[in-house]
Amino acid sequence: MSDPVPTFSDLSDVYGSETEVAKARFQTLEKAFLERFGSKPELFARSPGRVNLIGEHIDYEGYACLPMALRQDTIVAIRKAGDQLVITNIKSSEYPDYTFSVDPSQKVDADNHAWANYYLAAYKGCFEYLESKGKAPPPAGLQVMVDGIVPLGSGLSSSAAITCSSAFATLAAHGLNAPQGDAATFTAKCEKYVGTESGGMDQAVSIMGKPNTAMLVEFNPVRATDVVLPAGATFVIANSLTVSSKQETGATRYNLRTVECRLAAIALAISLGQPKEEARKLQTLKDVEPLIQSRLSGPKSSISHAAAAAAEQYLQKEPYDQGQIEGLLGASLSSIFEGNKAAGKSIAAAPDVGGFRLQSRALHVFAEADRVLAFRDVCTGDAPGEHKLESLGCIMDESQASCRDLYHCSCAELEALIAVQKKAGALGSRLTGAGWGGCTVSLVREGAVEAFIRAVKDQYFKQCISEGKVAAANLDEVIFASRPASGGAILKLK
Ligand code: NG1
Ligand code: MG
């Protein structure tokens, strides 16, 4: 069993060299809490955003990815009081207060997006988890104030930061905690209440991230292994300043991809000889591996090649329409995705974007899964440092091409930013997170970072300033060098 979420009494245990800045933030939050609720919070919890270095849109298909936790996080201040859940935000003019009952079985209204839905989803997730362990306490009223600095809708997983910190705060307010692995599993599950069919990478690394190392995150069961990055490698994050909200566009983008991948898995399994009824139970493309394996005579390492060959052979290149897929699978889509409201919306919206593209989605997933392992192998291998950096850059560029051409999750702004970054000397540059906007991550040689950032500011962000998309004073928040930072924690400060 994994260790519980750590509890610290000193901010320096979490924030290291950034402790002074963090101290000021915690003091401001404590003061705002006191003003709002008339008492100080009993404790705090925090969980960070993340940047995914490689392995995009494959966590929900069961494949490993390779992210690292960021310094940018969400802090939740909490106190047990009253008989309701009062959820407030330190930026109260932007994020209004919400009040919910303490009933853990209440529904999250995913159709009406509200920022506090993330807290409620985490709250429900905690109680479901505790009930499954036979340890659920009687629900108590809670006063909560949230302070998040992970940019929203930018692919840095602000959603996992708020969901995980809310979950730890809720557990800790009841005097409880959970093993990190369990917390990663239940927070990934409960984020679905907000209406996104997300995978589990973000929550896992937000909880289990560590300073100075990226993490290989694997699933079923969720686990994280250190991957030390080569000396001299700096990952620069830059925000395209195009916001991609999953609540607004999920039906034709993120959630539709999860539907397409599952349909591709089922269609492949049927083509590989599995009886339709059995095949329709499959959830992910990884589930098809044993079938592919059983047909392979060569080494296991050629699975992804065999899988890609099967996708090319058995799935049509052109998009399918609903009728074609239902014929192929021998059942209606509504029966296959029964009870999954988000999938239902995506199925209804698919004709607006030309139908279901099964082949290109499967090709991306199988190859991207391979790239994650290749990236890990370069990091842990013993090639000279400069070779390592160049190899990692190539893998990142391949991932970007695949996201753009096969998974169709890039956009004009990301492409423009990436082109600028490649010209400015990035060894590799790609979108990170879900895409369709949000951030890029670029691999830059340590000694070249300053000049790189200057060039990108000049060639991409200058224009954004003149278009009013960002204030000149805030440029350091939209392009910055990142370092792997600590994962989630409960803070009972002295
Ligand atoms: P972002 O865009 O950072 O929220 C999302 C998913 C991940 C993963 C990536 C694509 C959520 C909470 N997270 O990340 O699980 O699928 O897209 O690799 O939706
Ligand atoms: Mg998210």
Query: What pLDDT is recorded for position 152?
Result: 85
Q: Which residue owns the Cα nearest ligand 1 atom 14? A: 433
Our answer on whether the CB atom of 249 is closer than 6 Å to any ligand 1 atom is: no
Torsion of CA 101, 104, 109, 110, to 10 degrees: 150
Ligand 2 centre to CA of 161 (Å) is: 9
Query: What pLDDT is recorded for position 304?
Result: 85
Quote ipTM for the complex.
0.96
Q: Are 372 and 216 in contact (CB under 8 A)?
A: yes
Our answer on whether the CB atom of 193 is closer than 6 Å to any ligand 1 atom is: no
Among the bound ligands, name the one nearest to the CA of residue 204.
Answer: 1
Mark the residues whose beta carbon lies below 5 A from ion ligand 2.
157, 159
Annotated active-site residue 73? The verdict is: no
Q: In angstroms, what CA-CA distances link 302 with 159, 193, 299, 313, 424?
A: 36, 38, 6, 16, 36
Our answer on whether the CB atom of 158 is closer than 6 Å to any ligand 1 atom is: no
- Residues 6 or more apart whose Cβ sits within 8 Å of residue 315: 264, 267, 268, 271, 358, 359, 362
Our answer on whether the CB atom of 258 is closer than 6 Å to any ligand 1 atom is: no
- Token pair listed for 386: 């400069």
Distance in angstroms between the alpha carbons of the first and the last residue of the chain: 29
- Token pair listed for 474: 């805030």
What does the alpha-carbon distance between residue 119 and residue 73 come to, in Å, rounded to a whole number? 15
Find, among 483, 490, 493, the residue nearest to 16 by Cα. 483
Could you give the residue ranges of the DSSP H alpha helices within 337-407?
341-349, 358-380, 385-405
Find, among 392, 389, 376, 7, the residue nearest to 172 by Cα. 7
- Residues 6 or more apart whose Cβ sits within 8 Å of residue 286: 61, 62, 63, 369
Find, among 125, 133, 130, the residue nearest to 162 by Cα. 125
Our answer on whether the CB atom of 230 is closer than 6 Å to any ligand 1 atom is: no
Find, among 57, 47, 49, the residue nearest to 430 by Cα. 57
| SS3 label, residue 187 | helix
What strands, in cross-sheet order, belong to the sheet with 479-482? 428-431, 439-445, 233-239, 479-482
The model's pTM: 0.95
Render each residue's pLDDT in the chain as its tens digit; 494 residues: 889 999 999 999 999 999 999 999 999 999 999 999 999 999 999 999 999 999 999 999 999 999 999 999 999 999 999 999 999 999 999 999 999 999 999 999 998 989 999 999 999 999 999 999 999 999 999 999 999 999 887 889 999 999 999 999 999 999 999 999 999 999 999 999 998 888 999 999 999 999 999 999 999 999 999 999 999 999 999 999 998 777 788 899 999 999 999 999 999 999 999 999 999 999 999 999 999 888 776 666 678 889 999 999 999 999 999 999 999 999 999 999 999 999 999 999 999 999 999 999 999 999 999 999 999 999 999 999 889 999 999 999 999 999 999 999 999 999 999 999 999 999 999 999 999 999 999 999 999 999 999 999 999 999 999 999 999 999 999 999 999 999 999 999 98
Q: What is the pLDDT of residues 169-189, one digit of tens each?
A: 999 999 999 999 999 999 999
Calculate the CA 369 to chain-centre distance: 16
Query: What pLDDT is recorded for position 300?
Result: 63
Query: What pLDDT is recorded for position 154?
Result: 84
Residue with tokens 């954004």: 464
Beta strands 85-89 and 142-148: pairing type?
A: parallel
What does the alpha-carbon distance between residue 37 and residue 23 come to, in Å, rounded to a whole number? 21
What does the alpha-carbon distance between residue 348 and residue 337 come to, in Å, rounded to a whole number? 12
Ligand 2 centre to CA of 375 (Å) is: 23
Q: Which residue owns the Cα nearest ligand 1 atom 19? A: 198
Ligand 1 centre to CA of 154 (Å) is: 10
